Amino acid sequence: MSNLHIRPVRKAVFPVAGLGTRFLPATKVMPKEMLPINDRPLIQHVYEEAVEAGIEEFVFVTGRHKEMLEEHFDFQPELEETLQSRGKTAMLDKVRSSEIPAGRLFLTRQPKPLGLGHAVWCAAKLIGDEPFAVLLPDVLVHGTPGCLKQMVDVYNGTGGNVIAVEDVPRGETFKYGIVDTGGQDADPQLKAMPVQGLVEKPAPEDSPSTLSVIGRYILQPEIFDHLSAFETGAGGEIQLTDAMAKLIGPQAFTAMRFTGQSYDSGSRLGFIQANMAYASQDTEIASDVRRSIIEFANMLKEKDQTNAAAE
């Protein structure tokens, strides 16, 4: 596809209407997207990934009791005045970096939890007739450059649709949307591969590959034509994977192995792992964090040895 016909990706959709039940009671009042990973909430990490990739407009698909998300990215004059008066310029810079400029943040509601495909459809009027990105805030990808920036680089060469994928154990394919690349995934060094099919949560014996979709997408607006049919798929929900599958063939569709480490921060284990990863790279506390992790691991090892000796 000629680069002359590839339209830039300027908009991104963030589905943030979920209830965060895996973190109750912590998320009884606070949105799960506001849970902190090191020094900033989940949603800000994903927002910064989008900014790095050149995204200019940010569409949040929200639900009830999500006002805190909007407030986080808003201008906070009292806080900024206090920090400035106390000479805390480093903290002031951090606060200002979390503000989305006026006219760049857009909100729409998903009134019922009808699936990821439905959440994306709720943003159709705000996206219009443009290609766009979808970023699931539950998934953090720690790497340089960010995952979406890597995808945009691939998209600028291929056009069409691009999804980020990673290899998973075959025995776990039933947990994910899986990509069929016609066997090209056998080469683990191959970064970009054409997609021939998509299957939502296949049984291991039926899975066409072990490449899992991770929650980063660049999609063409024709996806809304299929989502608007409101067809239900796995789990009785409107699946984004099913609508994407209908774009394969009529449009270019590419799977991209990204460079970096993903964390399912919507789970408690992934959340803890992400905190360790990000904190151990924070220049202010990295050495202390790494030492604490090692000390804690050694303490657990000694405890296990003591318990084993006592049995």
With respect to residue 66, please indicate whether it lies within any of the assigned structural domains. yes
With respect to residue 271, please indicate whether it lies within any of the assigned structural domains. no
What pTM was computed for the model?
0.89
Give me the pLDDT at residue 235, please: 65
Please give the tally of structural domains in the chain.
Answer: 1
Q: Are the beta carbons of 44 and 98 closer than 8 angstroms?
A: yes
With respect to residue 10, please indicate whether it lies within any of the assigned structural domains. yes
DSSP helix/strand/coil, 147: helix
Residue 131, both tokens: 């290609």
With respect to residue 307, please indicate whether it lies within any of the assigned structural domains. no
With respect to residue 300, please indicate whether it lies within any of the assigned structural domains. no
> In angstroms, how far is CA 62 from the centroid of its own chain?
15
Q: With residue 62 as reference, give the H or E element that holds it.
A: strand 57-62
What is the CATH classification number for the domain harbouring 209?
3.90.550.10
With respect to residue 301, please indicate whether it lies within any of the assigned structural domains. no
With respect to residue 208, please indicate whether it lies within any of the assigned structural domains. yes
Determine the Cα–Cα distance for residues 118 and 129; give it in Å rounded to an integer. Answer: 18
The residue segments making up the domain with residue 25 are 3-263
Full pLDDT tens readout for the chain, 311 residues: 445 588 999 999 999 988 788 888 888 888 899 999 999 999 999 999 999 999 999 999 998 777 888 888 888 888 888 988 888 888 888 888 888 888 899 999 988 888 899 999 999 999 999 999 999 999 999 989 999 999 999 999 999 999 999 999 999 898 888 899 887 776 777 788 999 998 888 888 988 888 999 999 999 999 999 998 777 666 667 788 888 989 998 899 999 999 999 999 989 999 999 999 999 999 999 999 999 999 999 999 988 888 888 87
- Which amino acid is it at 2? S
Classify residue 183 as left (phi > 0), alpha (psi -120 to 50) or beta: left
**pLDDT tens digits, 109-120:** 988 888 899 999
> Could you give the C-alpha distances from 296 to 27, 95, 271, in angstroms and in order?
27, 32, 18
With respect to residue 140, please indicate whether it lies within any of the assigned structural domains. yes
Residues contacting 221, CB < 8 A, separation 6+: 127, 128, 129, 130, 131, 132
Residue 57, both tokens: 């407009």
